[in-house]
Chain A
Amino acid sequence: MDEATRTAFIGTEIGRTTVVVERSAVSFFAQAVLDDDPIYRDQREAEAKGFAGIPVPPTFPFVMQNWGAYGELQPAEGNGSGLAQVLGTLMAGGGLILHGEQAFTYHQPIVTGQTLTGVTVLRDIYVKESKAATMTFVVSETTWSDEAGTPMATATFNIIHRI
């Protein structure tokens, strides 16, 4: 990827998705990360702990765009596919994509029943060369906000392309 292509991507919005946080998706996800806490399966447990709905496990925001993304909720201009475009450009020459790092910042509890919009911005692309490989680091950041625009959680996704 040349310098001009690289810098043109940085700071741009590369995706936008609106989802309904669904109860069955949350309980299935909790089971998949080995969490047997009844709070993810029983509304009464969640209410007893002061939550308005069933809370989501800490890493659920990473997969949130895959559940409850109803067609009628999506922006008319499309969801954007900037990350796929960046990775497609890198993978055109072969290589391997690795998940390098992942970070979350939690602003407010996310609970089932909420409608949230995630906006993804490409934060950085940089290249490290070594004798063994060329590694391109791609950092994107998704902030999920509720219908009032209040930020709920921010997820930072660091991908490494190695060739």
Chain B
Amino acid sequence: MSEPWNLATLSVGSEAPVLTHTLTRTDLVRYAGASGDYNPMHHDEPKALAAKQPSVFGHGMLSMGIVATALTHFIGVGTLETFSVRFARQTWPGETLSTKIVVSAIEGGLVSLDVRLVNDAGEEKVVGQATARLDA
């Protein structure tokens, strides 16, 4: 695993390496087990169809968790001060999701980042911000 970026190598506009993943039903089952969230909309296809959904869909917190993975690979584990998102759209099995993380400001050691998770069509799934405290 490559070392995280540091203050000296970051500037406004710096982009994190993109994490891309095509979502599977197995991903949803694994996240259900790991999180303890057994809402049937995320693993029970007949119940999702009965609720007028086209299929099961991903946990919002799985989307946020994937963004968090890309974030910590970029700025390091234990550096985040804040991380917030809005869940804009559901995610669906078969969709290819990509993280988009860009440095929006640097003040002292505090780095602000705009974060998004998008699909291949460019539709935003989660949109948010993070701040991280980095050593010089």
A residues at B contact (CB < 8 Å): 25, 28-29, 31-39, 49, 51, 55, 57-59, 62-63, 66-67, 98-106, 109, 156
Judge whether B68 and A33 touch: CB under 8 Å.
Answer: yes
Min CB distance A70 to B, Å, is: 15
Residue of B nearest to A105 (CB): B82
Size class of the contact patch on chain B:
20 to 34
Knowing A28-B33, A58-B72, say if A102 contacts B64 (CB, 8 Å): yes
Residue of A nearest to B129 (CB): A103
Min CB distance B75 to A, Å, is: 11
Knowing A104-B83, A106-B80, say if A57 contacts B60 (CB, 8 Å): no
> Of A33, A57, A109, which is in contact with the most chain B CB atoms at under 10 Å from its CB?
A33
Residue of B nearest to A99 (CB): B60
Contacts of B78 in A (CB 8 A): 49, 51, 55, 109
Distance in angstroms between the alpha carbons of A149 and B6 in the assembled complex = 32
Q: Secondary structure at chain A's binding surface: helix, strand, loop or mixed? A: mixed
Contact partner of B19 among A34, A102, A103, CB < 8 A? A34
B residues at A contact (CB < 8 Å): 1, 19, 21, 27, 30-31, 33-37, 60-62, 64-66, 68-69, 71-73, 77-78, 80-87
Judge whether A28 and B84 touch: CB under 8 Å.
Answer: no
Judge whether B83 and A103 touch: CB under 8 Å.
Answer: yes
Min CB distance B93 to A, Å, is: 15
Judge whether A34 and B69 touch: CB under 8 Å.
Answer: yes
Distance in angstroms between the alpha carbons of A109 and B64 in the assembled complex = 19
Distance in angstroms between the alpha carbons of A22 and B115 in the assembled complex = 29
Distance in angstroms between the alpha carbons of A41 and B60 in the assembled complex = 25
